[in-house]
Amino acid sequence: MNIISCTAELHAAPILDILNDAIATSTALYDYQPRGIETMGPWFAAKRAVGFPVVGVVGDGGRLLGFATYGPFRPFPAYKYTVEHSVYVHRDHRGRGVGTAAMKRLILLAAESQQHVMVGAIDAANTASIAFHERLGFAPCGIVRQAGYKFGRWLDLALYQLVLATPDEPVDG
């Protein structure tokens, strides 16, 4: 496994395949409809515009096995040191360290870019993702009851956070 920085040109389609599988088969994403390839250019552009990484894990032959990224937590200035992350692994490669490799790199990049808190929003019934985050040092910080509705049932959203030692010198404004 190698860890890379993903690009729209090389990785939009494989990332989309991973996301669309999660949309169709799980509550990892609270979306209903698969996304089209036309959504990926703007997605990558928005991340690039603010310097947010898209970390990929590739196997032999360069096949994307999984990815992790983060984005803004909330659109208010005081949240500028807090990001919400996502990590997704191709269904055929789960449980093999792909997600851990991607997240360890993402956490390092978050600290290097002076982020302070990483937030994961996880379906509360997704015990595998919760255990995964706890192994990485994330701690529970709340549950939003019945936050989503998918597959004919209400879904509780568990929030997990990792507090980083950065930024070195936080400022208001």
pTM of the model: 0.95
What is the per-residue pLDDT across 74-128, written as a single tens digit (0 to 9) for each?
Answer: 999 999 999 999 999 999 999 999 999 999 999 999 999 999 999 999 999 999 9
Q: CA–CA separation, 65 vs 60, rounded Å?
A: 10
Mind listing the domains of the chain with CATH numbers?
A: 2-163 (3.40.630.30)
CB 112, CB 140: distance < 8 Å: no
End-to-end Cα separation, the chain, in angstroms: 41
Span 9-27, average pLDDT = 98
Residue 81's pLDDT is: 98
Residue 82's pLDDT is: 98
CA distances 92 to 21, 22, 59, 107, Å, are 11, 12, 12, 24
What is the per-residue pLDDT across 21-30, written as a single tens digit (0 to 9) for each?
Answer: 999 999 999 9
